[in-house]
Structure 1
């Protein structure tokens, strides 16, 4: 039997929070490269979060974003959306996709020109 993960909500006054789902709010560094790696799998009917989606993003100052798993079932489909002042969500595309999480060592020179 699969159950949805339960999070202790951490609220930072996010505008237009998602409806009817548990979520946590975090502050992330702006104007710096950030690699995001996640996974999702199932074991004995229990969902384990994550999926092999490795990418580099750069978030703007004083903007709001959300990271959502848009696919149900065993498929993983993560999306990062910018939350506009009207509440509209606009997908933020990665600056670079990675073949594996350690491909980018955190050296900004590897991302020159992005």
Structure 2
């Protein structure tokens, strides 16, 4: 599995944060806040797989881009960036030695935690 930074998703996340479209939730809320499989499928049906991919910091180049499994490290709920999702992505990327994704998530984490 070759997982790399999803530049499109990273740009999208930075733009959302800059526009104030984020939730400053607690670290452990991601299991409750992340979209369900049904919500993912509904989003893809309504918006397409390319829009779906913007909500992930990583891509698995071993899987085709028209598959949900191609996208890794989600950070939001298709409306807003969630701090808990960013922290989860940062932690998991670090565990699996995806340094570029870990750094991108750490940057987003810093953007969310910095005083406005």
State the TM-score bracket (shorter-chain normalisation): under 0.3
TM-score by length of 2: 0.28
Q: Select the structure with the greater relative contact order (CA < 8 A; seq sep ≥ 6).
A: 2
As a proportion of its length, which structure holds more strand?
1
Could you say which structure has the larger radius of gyration? 1
As a proportion of its length, which structure holds more helix?
2
TM-score by length of 1: 0.28
